Structure 1
Amino acid sequence: MSMINVTNLTFAYEGSYDNIFENVSFQIDTDWKLGFTGRNGRGKTTFLNLLLGKYEYKGNISANVNFEYFPYEVKDQENFTIDVIREISPNSMDWEIVKELSMLDMDYDALYRQFYTLSKGEQTKALLAAMFLKENSFLLIDEPTNHLDIEGRKKLSDYLKKKKGFILISHDRAFLDNCIDHILAINKTNIEIQKGNFSSWWRNKELQDGFELAENEKLKKDINRLSAAAKRSSIWSDKVESSKFGTTNSGSKIDRGYVGHKAAKMMQRAKNIEARQQNAIEEKSKLLKNIESNESLKIVPLTFHDRKLVELSEVSIHYDNKTVCEKISFTIEQGERVAIQGKNGSGKSSILKLINGENIPHEGIVRKNNKLIISYVSQDTSSLQGNLTAYAEKNSIDESLFKAMLRKLDFSREQFEKNMEDFSGGQKKKVLIAKSLCDRAHLYIWDEPLNFIDVISRMQIEELLMEYEPTILFVEHDVTFCENVATKTIRL
């Protein structure tokens, strides 16, 4: 066991006026299974790169371990998988490699296939196994679940549960809960570490947020009451002070010493109230700094004249004489939230594209009305280029509504000035989702919409779908999201 010490860390990207980290200090035990959470753009991947020494920074980071970053870049993907693993971990014995892969339910023959022929999920497993075989290494694992189906995520989470010595960035709540024992959270104004998993951290956060909101309301009332009292005291002292120069009702002179003393006492009382008021304001300013913006999203789906929107009957999809899925039949009715689940390569995305009207080679019958309006969110974000204003205009959506959606999804106003090529993976997915939320459609089709998207935004999207109940067909590997949202599940 050793410690990773971060002391007074301050960092900003060149040309930026805003620090991503400012005087941050904390310690990490190298035996921890550490989950890493925070909203998109807060600096999670940046922090991993700072540990790797990729950027100059102020402060100090000290550690007695070698940091290894995942995803690992394989330069020659035509090599056999076992050669790729040996390159990463040259001191590992063959039996150790086989044992490690068996823990991930990978077939032995995968070792003697060229690396590029493995599925993305198999590549993820092979690389993580290789990196855990390295001695004296502390793994920095950056979103390993994006290419894994539900079953693959469960196996990988069980594998990580048996390991120690890593930081894991993931936005999948069930995945994190199963395999971590501490959590590192980048909040709006600080970084905190807690023992436990994501759910225990979230419960603590909700309790803290609730306490701060209650204190805030109490202090607002105190400030209003003290303001009124201070104003009354000030008025009374002014009246008393001015009465020094008058006479009594009987015509005798006022005792100026007594009146002056009384006025001074009232003036002091007003100052005391003002000081208490200022203390209350200062206490109030300490609150609410880490309460996340979690405003409700809105969607205005169209109503279709027919209850049944889509029907697939005995549909099979083929690519290059290979059958991807066979004899699939189901219907989508108005108001249903339909999840399609299955292993990678089982044809989930192909079915979504087919219903969306793309030219997918298939047999069987797809019935849908030609007046059905569909809003589609693709897995692929590579087409996002240029600024948000031009994107809104190109897609004929209301720019102010579009940007309001993005603000609710935690976009800063500064982000609106950047080109989309410079956005993080999560921010790009938010652009596609915000655009879809602006569409007036009968049917929403979303293909893995949550890849790279932070947990709080996932919760916002869940609440939106459950409140407004649009008709939606989606593929998503986040178990918690599917359990909360889907009214019907199609398993391939």
Structure 2
Amino acid sequence: MSILSTEQVSHSFNDKWLFTDLHFALQKGDRVALVGINGTGKSTLLKILAEIIIPNKGRVVKEKGLRIGYLHQDPDFSDLKTINDFIFSAENEQQQLIKEYEELIDNQDVTSKKFTEITDKLTALNAWEYENNIKTILSRFQITNFNQRIDSLSGGQKKRLALAKLLIDEPDIYILDEPTNHLDIETIEWLEKLLTTGNKTVLLVSHDRYFLDNICTEIRELDQGSVYLYKGNYAYFLEKKAEREANEILAADKARNLWRKELDWMRRQPQARGTKAKARIESFYDLEEKSKGPRKKDQVELSVKVSRQGNKILELENVGYSVPDKTIIKDFSYTFKKGDRIGLAGKNGSGKTTFLNLITGAISPTHGELSVGETTKYGYYKQEGLNAKPEERVLDVVKNVADFIEMKGGEVITASQLLTKFLFPPEKQFGLVSKLSGGERKRLQLMRVLMANPNFLILDEPSNDLDIDTLNVLEDFLEQYPGILVLVSHDRYLLDKLTEQLFIFPGEGEVVIYNGNYADYKLEQEELNKKPEKKVEKAKPVEKKQKLSYKEQREFENLETEIASLENSIAEKTEALSTTNDHIELQKIAEEIENEKLALDQKTERWLTLAEFI
């Protein structure tokens, strides 16, 4: 039996119907992911179900007394001054007692009588466990100063605060719009466990595919005003969606063939008057609509030129950064190499953004040396978002960087043409930046970074506010990207797919280099945690590798060819020694043989090392 549902709900936005006569129902214990491309109405449907907005037609029906917790993408804290004001609801007696208790603890002038009174009330209401639960949740989201003003918080801190409050209130239904944005990986994994215990009812929109797989037992796709249901995880949804679209294309082909025959009949007919003829004409127009088939979805096109990269890229030697009473980065050394694909992992506040600012020159190290190659060209996609004035037009924001852009194949296109490839049609191009959605602003920001043709690409939380379809295109582009890639992301799927090495930030200024992706690292940590009798250094990788990374596998395959080539070259040059009497030529050939033998020894040793893990 449904505890929350819609009855023939229809809603429009900017004179466009998002959906009509839509039926959507949730039963107790359902854990549902709502997916679909940007603009289909996912967030609007969530707000209708949460009774934040009223639909143009139809209504929402819910079980009596049902409490709904709704997480906005951009929470609004109007009329609230401090974190205390928001966290502790006036209508919740337990929360108000806990708030009073916290204020008494901070008050040095409190009398023992008053303190005893409040503790007795907390005991009578069995609120001590609840108070501990509140503190656990708030500390997990790094919220410790309850007197901090809300208007002093960043966008990410506000999102975490809103999510913490929702979890504290323990609603009957959790409706979550992009809950993983601005959370670190450890907190996301903790949130997964919390949402999957206690038979909770969850409806969420998220771009995080691992989060979807771990939370949801059902995927519902909102597409062109209709909802398609898939029982299973996200991988199952992709498989069945492809089957559905293939069947729709076949059905459209059949309808098109029949429509052509009916078209001949229509052309031969005089003005129809009979009932049968009228019914056939109506059927013809219905058939015409079916013959059009599924609408082709617009997709971002990513293809830009990458600047030439020299041998020296970026070298760090004992680089560190400190502020008074705190070391953020401690004595880190690394030489970047061609083809490096590095993921940064660690809790919020562990130093990842500081590290990015160091390597891009935004700040200088307090000690150590950092040397950048002459041909290194950075492209830095920042988490903070697009740096543009709200009154600027979209086209002007791009033209401020360049009027013409060189693409991968050497083609030169205009700024307007590039915007079109990034799904900004002419009417959007001449519109104001302030009118763009969050996802559109992120897409425009990504375009501005790529159009500069960087060979050292830094992406700080690129998946926030991007829909899954755009993310898939970005992943395909980055898989083929020939430059250096440094990725900071809470999206574990993205880290696993695009990186082959991790810089782990465990805290206290340490940076640990780990060879492998996040799944490898997580698996090793779980294995180590199963052996508590052994003392394990935090975030330190085990010495023995479990398998070759993709990059090492390619290196191993290439080494076999290179070794064979060197052996042939040495044999040919050794034979050439006996066919010449020129002592200068003899000396030259002998030196070449010696150098090639040295190279052969090195490559053979490397091949043997890698072969141990095959």
Classify the TM-score, shorter chain.
Answer: 0.7 to 0.9
1:182 matched to 2:218? yes
Name the SS of the counterpart of 1:12 in structure 2.
strand
Determine what percentage of the aligned residue pairs are the same residue: 22
Distance 2:156 2:434 in 1: 26
Question: How far has the Cα of 1:470 moved from its partner?
Answer: 3.1
Shift, 1:174, TM fit: 0.4
Which residue does 2:59 correspond to in 1?
A: 60
5+ residue gaps, structure 1: 235-275
Q: Is the 8 A contact 2:308 2:375 kept in 1?
A: no
Shift in CA distance, 121/293, structure 1 to aligned 2, threshold 3 Å: closer
Within 5 Å, which residues of 2 pair with 1:425-464? 425-464=438-477
Aligned 1:364-403 pairs, distance under 5 A:
364-381=368-385, 383-384=387-388, 385=390, 386-398=392-404
User: Closer, same or farther in 2 for the Cα pair 1:322/1:80, shift >3 Å?
Assistant: farther
1:488 lines up with 2:521 in the alignment: no
Residue 20 of structure 1: SS of its match in structure 2? strand
Instruction: State the match for 2:236 in structure 1.
Output: 200
Contact preservation (8 Å) 2:329, 2:351: yes
Range moving further from structure 2, 465-474 or 111-120:
111-120
Tell me what 2:183 maps to: 148
TM superposition shift of 1:151: 1.5
Q: How does 1:236-315 map to 2 (within 5 A)?
A: 283-285=290-292, 287-289=293-295, 292-294=297-299, 297-306=302-311, 308-315=312-319
Measure, in 2, the Cα distance between the counterparts of 1:3 and 1:365: 62
CA offsets per residue over residues 361-383 of structure 1, 9 Å max, x none? 53211110244222221112252
Change (3 A) 1:405 1:199: farther
* C-alpha deviation, 1:57, in angstroms: 1.9
Q: State which drifts further: 133-142 or 42-51.
A: 133-142
Q: CA deviation at 1:415?
A: 3.5
Structure 1 residues 122, 436: closer, same or farther in 2, change over 3 A? Answer: closer
Change (3 A) 1:352 1:8: same
Higher relative contact order (CA 8 A, sep 6+): 1
Q: Report the equivalent of 1:98.
A: 132
- Counterpart of 1:94, as a letter, is W
1:339 counterpart residue number: 343
Q: Check conservation: 2:301, 2:422, Cα contact below 8 A.
A: no
TM-score, structure 1 as length reference: 0.77
Aligned equivalent of 2:593:
none
Amino acid at match of 1:302: S
Q: Equivalent residues in 2 for 1:407-426 (5 A)?
A: 407=420, 410-411=423-424, 414-426=427-439
1:428 partner SS: helix
- TM-score scaled by structure 2? 0.63
Shift, 1:32, TM fit: 1.6
Match of 2:192 among 151, 157, 160: 157
The answer for unaligned runs of 5 or more in structure 2 is 96-126, 268-282, 406-412, 506-614
Q: Distance in 2 between matches of 1:172 and 1:108?
A: 19
Amino acid at match of 1:366: L
Cα deviation, residue 143, structure 1: 1.6
**Which secondary structure does the structure 2 equivalent of 1:449 belong to?**
coil
* One-letter amino acid of the counterpart of residue 29, structure 1: Q
TM-aligned CA distance change 1:305 to 1:146, over 3 Å? same
Q: Deviations over 1:131-151 (max 9, x none)?
A: 345476423222221111112
Q: Which residue of the partner structure matches residue 35 of structure 1?
A: 33
* Separation in structure 1 between the aligned mates of residue 430 and residue 248 of structure 2, nearest angstrom: 33
Supply the AA of the counterpart residue of 2:494.
Answer: F
AA matched with 2:291? K
CA RMSD, 1 decimal: 3.9
Go from structure 1 to structure 2 and tell me whether the alpha carbon gap of 1:381 and 1:465 turns closer, same or farther (over 3 Å shift).
same
Correspondence for 1:20: 18
**Kept after mapping to 2: 8 A contact 1:377/1:449:** yes
SS of the residue corresponding to residue 147 of structure 1 reads coil
What secondary structure sits across from 1:323 in the alignment? Answer: strand
Please name the residue that 1:169 is paired with: 205
Over residues 13-49 of structure 1, what are the superposed CA-to-partner deviations in whole Å (9 max), with x where a residue is unaligned? Answer: 4xx2222333322222243222222223332222233
Aligned equivalents of 1:469, 1:107: Cα separation in 2: 38
Which of 329, 332, 339 pairs up with 1:328? 332
Aligned counterpart, 1:6: 6
